[in-house]
Structure 1
Amino acid sequence: MLPADYVFGIAVALVVASNFYLGRRIERERVAMQWGPSGEPTWYAPKWLAMWGMPAFMVAVRLLIWLASTYAPQSVHSVELGIVIFSVIAAGSHVFVLMKARAVR
C-alpha cells in the first residue's frame, strides 16, 4: 500500500459522505453534470448515477493505476503523485457538482 492510498481513501470517504449528506437535499431526479461558457448546464445525469458513479469511477481508475504499475512498471511514472492529484480533483469536483445541484430548486 502506497502512502498516497491514504489520501485516496480519505477522498473516497469524502465522496461517500457527501453523497449521504448532500444527496438527501437534492430535490430533482436529474443533476447537471457540466456547464457551458454561458453558465447553463450542457447535460444531465440521473441522480443515482451522478452520486454513485464517482466512487465507482474512482475505484476503477485506482485499479487501472495498480494494474499498470504492477504489470507495466516501466511505463508508469510518479504513481503516488498521480493518485494524490486524481483523488483531490475527483473529490473536489464531485462535491462541487452536488453542492450546485442542491442549490437548484
Structure 2
Amino acid sequence: MPTVYVFAVVTLAILSCLSALAGFWVGDLDRLPMQWGLDGRPTWYAPKWIALGFIPVIGVIVMATVAVSHGPGGDGSGVARNMATVGAILVAAEIVYLFMLRRHLTG
C-alpha cells in the first residue's frame, strides 16, 4: 500500500476513534455546540451526529482530493508529505474541538 494511503487510513481511523469516544462521554445530548464566540459561549448547535461526524467527513473529502492529486510519474513523496500535513491538521482540529466541547459540558 503506498504511503499516501497509509497516512489517509491512519488519520481517518484516529478521527473516527476520537469521535466515537466523544460520543460516549457526551451522553444522551441531542445537540452539541459547533462554534464558540470570543466570549467563550457557543454561537450555534448541531445534532450530535453532525457535530461528531463533521471533521471525519471533511477528512475523507480532503484526503481523497489529496490522494487523487497524485499524478502519474514521480515517487509520490510530495503527496505523502502533503497527506501527512493534512492529517496532522485534521487531528489537531478534532482535538481542539473536543477540548472545547469538554470544557463547555463540564462548566
Q: Report the CA distance shift for 1:62/1:15 in structure 2 as closer, same or farther (over 3 A).
A: same
**Higher RCO, 1 vs 2 (CA within 8 Å, ≥6 residues apart):** 1
4+ residue stretches of structure 1 with deviation over 4 A? none
Aligned to 1:29: 30
After TM superposition, the score normalised by the length of structure 1 is 0.73
Q: TM-score, normalised by structure 2?
A: 0.72
Match of 1:66 in 2: 67
User: Residue 23 of structure 1 contacts residue 98 of structure 1 at CA under 8 Å; is this kept in 2?
Assistant: no
Residue identity (%): 25
- Taking the aligned partners of 1:80 and 1:55, their CA distance within structure 2 comes to 19
Matched, 1:102 2:102: yes
SS of the residue 1:96 aligns to: helix
Number of aligned positions between the proteins: 101
Q: Does 1:39 align with 2:46?
A: no
- Gaps (5+ residues) in structure 2? none
Q: 1:71-105: CA deviations, max 9, x gaps?
A: 8x9xxxx3222211111111121133224323415
| Farther-moved stretch of structure 1 (4-13 vs 89-98) | 4-13
Give, in angstroms, the shift of residue 22 of structure 1: 1.7
RMSD: 2.6
Correspondence for 1:8: 8
User: How far apart are the structure 1 equivalents of 2:24 and 2:88?
Assistant: 23
**Contact conserved, 1:22 with 1:99, CA < 8 A, in 2?**
no
